[in-house]
Amino acid sequence: MNDITSFFFSPPGEKDEKRGPNCPPRRTGFDPSIPILYSENKLPASRRPVATPEKRQEPSIRMPLNNIKTIIQCDFDSTIIAEDISFMILDAFADSSWRNFLEEYRVGRMLVGDFNSRSFTMVKADEKTLLDYILVRIGVKIRPGFTELLDYCSGKGFDFVVVSNGLSFYIEAILKNAGLGNIEVHAADTQFSPDGLKVQYIGPDGQEMQDGFKQTYTELFLGRGYRVVYIGDGYSDIIPATHAHHIFARDDLLAHCRQHQIDCFPFDDLHDVVKGLKQLSAV
């Protein structure tokens, strides 16, 4: 068994330096027998969407990525950048009561669309003021390895797309400020008004969505025949990630994968993702 094969097929309990000594035995893809701890809106279990076996995309980790069309679906806040810009905007420009909505969202009494629309309507600042705050005062930095990741994907012919629960205006501005303004981005639309921001998630069909935004795009890519590689960090990444063929995870997403023995690559920065993609391409 060579290094790459052993990376994926180590016997249960066997320690593997590439995986880390505390990783559980690997499981790949979505398994409906594993309880999902979080649906994007944290609904009670009785109201969570259930993935049926017919909808499941069975991964094949033996197949090199360069033998099939591949798309990298990547989160933005706390993944491409270290910060969560949405929360930073709300802390700086909204009334502190927005955190009451956050608590409602976290316990499953509010959908993500409702949370954003109610919270951001308290932000009265215009776009220039918010972008000055983000780009100048905060000085948001792209996580190391992002340019190398884009270059690797381009060289391999992989599509790369950002799908985020964040707001498109700041995502696009941050990427453009870093000289990366040509990246495809799907995130919440934002309209500026003296009465507050109007934030909406518009799905691929042009209809407004209140929940499941990331998952909808994952399913869209799978339906188009893509091998989906998912990169994310948070609770809202759990359901879409577990429908993907390969997962790169950190923070809460990584904890969920480890707890439920779902195959994933841990990453600290995006150089780690490039290394992982190279390993997958060499299988």
C-alpha 71/C-alpha 277 separation (Å) is: 12
Q: Is residue 27 part of a domain?
A: no
123 in the same domain as 239 = no
Nearest partner of 176 among 133, 142, 217, judged by Cα = 142
DSSP conformation class of 235: G
169 in the same domain as 121 = no
205 in the same domain as 116 = no
pLDDT in tens, 129-155: 999 999 999 889 899 999 999 999 999
C-alpha 143/C-alpha 122 separation (Å) is: 30
166: its two tokens = 């964040």
Question: Sheet containing 246-249: which strands, arranged edge to edge?
Answer: 208-209, 198-202, 184-191, 159-167, 70-74, 227-232, 246-249, 265-266
Q: Examine the pLDDT at 204 and tell me if it is beyond 90.
A: yes
Q: Examine the pLDDT at 190 and tell me if it is beyond 90.
A: yes
Q: Is residue 256 part of a domain?
A: yes
Q: Residue range 165-169: average pLDDT?
A: 96
277 in the same domain as 159 = yes
Tell me the CATH number at 204. 3.40.50.1000
Whole-number pLDDT of residue 13: 37
Of the residues 106, 135, 164, the one at which a domain ends: 135
Q: Residue range 156-164: average pLDDT?
A: 97
In the predicted model, what is the mean pLDDT of the chain?
Answer: 81
Of the residues 135, 170, 197, the one at which a domain ends: 135
DSSP conformation class of 133: I
235 in the same domain as 117 = no
253 in the same domain as 161 = yes
Q: Is residue 153 part of a domain?
A: yes
157 in the same domain as 79 = yes
Q: Examine the pLDDT at 202 and tell me if it is beyond 70.
A: yes
Q: Is residue 42 part of a domain?
A: no
Q: Is residue 108 part of a domain?
A: yes
pLDDT in tens, 212-262: 999 999 999 999 999 999 999 998 899 999 999 999 999 999 999 999 999
Q: Is residue 52 part of a domain?
A: no
pTM: 0.78
Q: How far is residue 251 CA from its own chain's centroid? A: 12
Q: Residue 44 — φ and ψ, nearest 5°?
A: -60, 155
pLDDT in tens, 48-105: 333 333 333 444 444 556 678 999 999 999 999 999 999 999 999 999 999 999 888 8
238 in the same domain as 175 = yes
Q: Examine the pLDDT at 200 and tell me if it is beyond 60.
A: yes
Q: Examine the pLDDT at 275 and tell me if it is beyond 70.
A: yes
Of the residues 135, 161, 195, the one at which a domain ends: 135
265 in the same domain as 178 = yes
269 in the same domain as 158 = yes
Number of domains in the chain: 2
The amino acid present at 38, given as its one-letter code, is: Y
3-state class (DSSP) for residue 237:
helix
Which domain, by its residues, includes 219? 3-7+61-83+142-282
207 in the same domain as 100 = no
Whole-number pLDDT of residue 282: 80
